[in-house]
């Protein structure tokens, strides 16, 4: 009877030992592989980057320590939310987390990451359709300073003929930067305005989509396009035509209409766009004013999108050496101007040739003013 009792004690001890061993090895294995995989699966690389976590830390070789979660983008500016609480704006966007120490294995939750929800890619609520060389990049960079705006920093061209047949909406949405549900995603692709099928495709995706188009004096736009062409030719070691050669046929003494009007005649593009989208869903921005007074245009966008005025003089400054407005982030004292390909010095045009060009554009511009019910102070 006594030996049976001893066997029972031994057996129970053995079972406990085995259970303890299983528990320890489970914890060890999960800490080395399961946990990272779990994190990998709930946070795409893009999302991890957006919350400032470093992807490489999630490899199986490295154990995860709470400290690793504290790696995040430094705040660039400070603002207040709807409840007047101070919040920090970080780059990249969607990052307003005060990192809390993360619990060890098996205890992942959003609150550990300081988030109410995981940022996710969402379809754009607003698209900037063009026009190319009118300041599309500068506008989007300035808008990205707004805490409720998340902008894509490349041109997906999704709705254009080159891309649309090849990719589906899921592909497009996945390409959008991660955002929180109270933020608006914006993308820009200048091919959208000149390829009219894009208007229809965008409308099919979302009929209440907000549309923005930025335009500028068509002669300044043409000079900008020429600057781009000349820089490309020089880069490849080819002789670039002069501006006059490029837009004017010296032999026939006529303008190269197809070349000049492909983008510069704004009227047909707006005519089509406004057949697809109602006028109150379309905001026309002034690219010339964007150069001289960017906040005037940024405010118009904030109002159009129903957002609070957040972007102020504190966020931008005129950079003497760039000759354009640039961004500054008060908290880090960092500044950022657009790259070398934006803000080139334009070709001087002979005054007589310019007069000719102005006269050429007058009827096209008048037609455009009529279509949009708005005049612009161009051609001087
Ligand atoms: N803040 C600031 N910094 C730099 N550049 C500025 C800025 N604001 C407007 N612009 C004008 O933007 C012009 C380029 O327009 P886009 O970005 O639409 O060009 S593109 O079609 O995407 O290539 C670019 O044209 P170029 O001057 O010919 O380079 C600028 O005139």
Task: Judge whether residue 13 has pLDDT over 70.
Answer: yes
Is there an atom of ligand 1 within 6 Å of 135 CB? yes
DSSP code string of 225-263: HHHHHHHHHHHTTPPPPPHHHHHEETTTTEE-HHHHHHH
Percent of the chain with pLDDT over 90: 57
Quote the tokens at residue 331: 């908290």
| Amino acid 120: pLDDT | 79
- Sign of torsion, CA 197 166 144 231? negative
Q: Which residue is listed with tokens 């803000």? A: 343
For residue 322, the CA-to-ligand 1 centroid distance in Å is 12
| Amino acid 46: pLDDT | 35
Residue 181 C-beta-side C-alpha neighbours within 13 Å: 4
| Amino acid 327: pLDDT | 93
Is there an atom of ligand 1 within 6 Å of 147 CB? no
pLDDT tens column, 317-326 = 999 999 999 9
Q: Which of 96-105, 233-242, 321-330, 351-360 has the lowest mean pLDDT?
A: 96-105
For residue 110, the CA-to-ligand 1 centroid distance in Å is 40
Task: Judge whether residue 247 has pLDDT over 80.
Answer: yes
Mutate to test the pocket of ligand 1, among 140, 141, 224, 335 (most ligand atoms within 8 A of CB): 224
DSSP assigned state of 62: S
**Residues carrying an active site annotation:** 133
Task: Judge whether residue 376 has pLDDT over 60.
Answer: yes
For residue 136, the CA-to-ligand 1 centroid distance in Å is 7
| Amino acid 48: pLDDT | 37
Is there an atom of ligand 1 within 6 Å of 291 CB? yes
Contact of 79 with 89, CB cutoff 8 Å: yes
The residue whose C-alpha atom lies closest to atom 7 belonging to ligand 1 is 138
pLDDT tens column, 22-62 = 766 554 444 433 333 334 333 433 343 333 332 222 222 23
Of 201, 174, 197, the C-alpha closest to 185 is 174
Rounded CA-CA distance 267/313 in Å is: 34
* 103 confidence band (pLDDT: 50, 70, 90): very low
Q: How much is the mean pLDDT over the chain?
A: 80
Is there an atom of ligand 1 within 6 Å of 342 CB? yes
Quote the tokens at residue 195: 């390829």
For residue 156, the CA-to-ligand 1 centroid distance in Å is 18
| Amino acid 11: pLDDT | 83
pLDDT tens column, 268-318 = 999 999 999 999 999 999 999 999 999 999 999 999 999 999 999 999 999
| Amino acid 31: pLDDT | 40
| Kind and range of the H or E run holding 87 | strand 86-90
Query: Is the model more confident about 167 or about 103?
Result: 167
The residue whose C-alpha atom lies closest to atom 23 belonging to ligand 1 is 133
Sheet-wide strand order for 324-329: 316-319, 324-329, 334-336
Q: Which residues are annotated as a binding site for 3'-phosphoadenylyl sulfate?
A: 216, 224, 325, 342-346
Rounded CA-CA distance 155/141 in Å is: 13
ipTM here = 0.99
Question: What is the mean predicted confidence (pLDDT) over 1-12?
Answer: 71
């Amino acid at each position: 009877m006594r030996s049976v009792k001893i066997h029972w004690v031994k057996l129970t001890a053995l079972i406990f030992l085995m259970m303890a061993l299983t528990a320890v090895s489970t914890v060890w294995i999960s800490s080395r592989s399961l946990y990272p995989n779990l994190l990998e699966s709930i946070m795409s690389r893009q999302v991890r980057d957006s919350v400032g976590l470093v992807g490489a830390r999630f490899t199986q070789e490295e154990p995860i320590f709470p400290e690793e979660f504290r790696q995040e983008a430094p705040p660039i500016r400070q603002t207040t939310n709807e409840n007047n609480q101070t919040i920090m704006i970080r780059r990249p966007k969607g990052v307003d987390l005060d990192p809390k120490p993360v619990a060890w294995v098996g205890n992942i939750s959003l609150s550990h990451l300081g988030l109410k929800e995981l940022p996710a890619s969402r379809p754009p609520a607003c698209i900037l359709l063009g026009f190319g060389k009118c300041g599309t990049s500068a506008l989007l960079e300035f808008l990205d300073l707004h805490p409720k705006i998340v902008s894509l920093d490349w041109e997906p061209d999704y709705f254009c003929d080159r891309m649309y047949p090849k990719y589906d909406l899921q592909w497009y949405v996945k390409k959008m930067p991660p955002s929180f549900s109270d933020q608006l995603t914006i993308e820009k692709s200048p091919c959208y305005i000149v390829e009219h099928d894009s208007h229809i495709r965008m409308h099919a995706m979302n009929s209440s989509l907000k549309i923005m188009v930025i335009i500028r004096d068509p002669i300044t736009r043409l000079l900008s396009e020429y600057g781009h062409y000349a820089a490309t030719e020089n880069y490849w070691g080819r002789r670039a035509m002069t501006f006059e050669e490029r837009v004017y046929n010296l032999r026939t003494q006529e303008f190269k209409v197809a070349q000049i009007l492909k983008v510069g005649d704004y009227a047909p593009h707006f005519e089509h766009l406004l057949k697809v989208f109602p006028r109150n869903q379309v905001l026309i921005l002034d690219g010339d004013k964007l150069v001289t007074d960017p906040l005037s245009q940024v405010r118009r966008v904030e109002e159009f999108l129903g957002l609070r005025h957040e972007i102020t003089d504190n966020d931008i400054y005129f950079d003497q050496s760039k000759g354009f407005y640039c961004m500054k982030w008060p908290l880090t004292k960092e500044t950022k101007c657009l790259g070398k390909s934006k803000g080139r010095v334009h070709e001087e045009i002979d005054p007589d040739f310019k007069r000719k060009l102005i006269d050429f554009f007058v009827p096209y511009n008048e037609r455009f003013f009529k279509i949009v019910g708005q005049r612009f102070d161009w051609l001087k």
